[in-house]
Amino acid sequence: MTEVTGGGVPGAATRPAPGPAVIPGVLVAPRRHAVAGLVGRLAPLAMAALAAAAVAVSFAPWLRTGDARRTSHEVVRAADRLGVLDAGPQAAVSVAWAFLPLVAVFAVLALVLERRRLAGALASIVGALAVALALVLENARRSADWGATAGLAIGSALVVAALATALSSRSEP
């Protein structure tokens, strides 16, 4: 870089000459790397918080039946008892929902052990289950309670955070 002097005046300050025009590719690349690093650091934290929130909201009221409010676990148990979940893949829903808190704990444990891809996979299962049950209950608009809406929002955010966590992993096979 050249310097521009004070016009030959003794003691005048020198300043850098104007640089070349801004080249977007040169200045954008470091920012992109910084954003990727930020996502790589924040995604696991968000995923862990959302996994805990998904478990907590699963015990909130998801369905109103008369004067009673039922949690998601009670809804799945009632559907199982009524025979709604007897055929094929629906039978697995009852078992999967019962193990939802355990799978969420394993997802956070995988994060602690720095297994981001495994953590992302487990957390995305938790999020997808929450979204699926919430969508079923939200279709019964009059009887869905606030837990179903929260489950839909938290489950969706959890799937996004889980994918960001899994994709930000570079050191794992």
Number of H helices, E strands in the chain: 6, 4
Q: Indicate the DSSP class of residue 69.
A: E
Handedness of CA 18, 24, 29, 31 (dihedral sign): positive
Does residue 19 form part of some domain? no
Rounded to whole angstroms, how far apart are CA atoms 93 and 108? 22
Domain span at residue 136 reads 51-61+69-173
Handedness of CA 46, 52, 54, 57 (dihedral sign): negative
- What are the pLDDT digits (tens) for 107-134? 999 999 999 999 999 999 999 999 999 9
Does residue 44 form part of some domain? no
Query: 105 falls in which pLDDT band (50, 70, 90)?
Result: very high
pLDDT at residue 35 is higher than 80: no
pLDDT at 21: 52
pLDDT at residue 173 is higher than 50: no
pLDDT at residue 26 is higher than 70: no
pLDDT at residue 33 is higher than 80: no
Handedness of CA 153, 154, 157, 162 (dihedral sign): negative
Does residue 21 form part of some domain? no
In this prediction, residues 67-75 reach a mean pLDDT of: 90
Q: How many domains does the chain have?
A: 1
Average pLDDT of the chain is 82
What is the 3-state composition of the chain as percent helix, strand, coil, each rounded to the nearest 5?
A: 65, 10, 25
pLDDT at residue 28 is higher than 70: no
In the structure encoding, which two tokens stand for residue 117, read together?
């891809």
Does residue 38 form part of some domain? no
pTM: predicted TM-score of the whole model, two decimal places: 0.74
